[in-house]
C-alpha cells in the first residue's frame, strides 16, 4: 500500500480507500479463512422461496414453506437428488 501511495498513481485510490476501510475483515479472511458464504447462500435460498411463493398472504405459511425447503426433507427421511 505504501509503494502504491508513494508512486502517486491515482488509479488505485478507490481500491486503497476500500482496503483501508475493510482492512480488518480482509486480513481476518486470510488468517482464519472465515467467510459469509453460508449466510449468503441461506439468504439466496430464502429469496428464491419468496419468489416461488408469490401470492401467499399468510406469513405463517411462508415460514412453514421456508422450514420445509431448508430442512424438511431430512426430517421426513426423503432422499433428494
* pLDDT tens string 7-53: 877 888 898 899 999 999 888 888 888 788 888 999 998 899 888 88
Q: pTM of the entire structure?
A: 0.51
Q: Which three cell numbers stand for residue 31?
A: 488468517
Whether residue 19 contacts residue 1, with contact meaning beta carbons closer than 8 Å, is answered with yes
pLDDT of 80 strictly over 60: no
**Among 41, 13, 36, which Cα is nearest to 25's?**
36
Of 10-14, 58-62, 69-73, where does mean pLDDT reach its minimum?
69-73
* CA–CA separation, 31 and 18 (whole Å): 19
Amino acid at each position: 500500500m505504501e509503494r502504491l501511495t508513494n508512486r502517486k498513481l491515482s488509479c488505485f485510490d478507490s481500491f486503497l480507500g476500500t482496503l483501508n476501510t475493510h482492512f480488518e475483515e480482509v486480513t481476518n479472511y486470510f488468517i482464519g479463512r472465515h467467510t459469509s458464504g453460508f449466510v449468503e447462500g441461506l439468504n439466496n435460498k430464502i429469496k428464491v422461496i419468496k419468489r416461488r411463493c408469490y401470492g401467499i398472504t399468510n406469513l405463517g405459511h411462508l415460514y412453514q414453506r421456508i422450514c420445509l425447503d431448508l430442512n424438511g426433507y431430512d426430517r421426513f427421511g426423503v432422499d433428494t437428488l
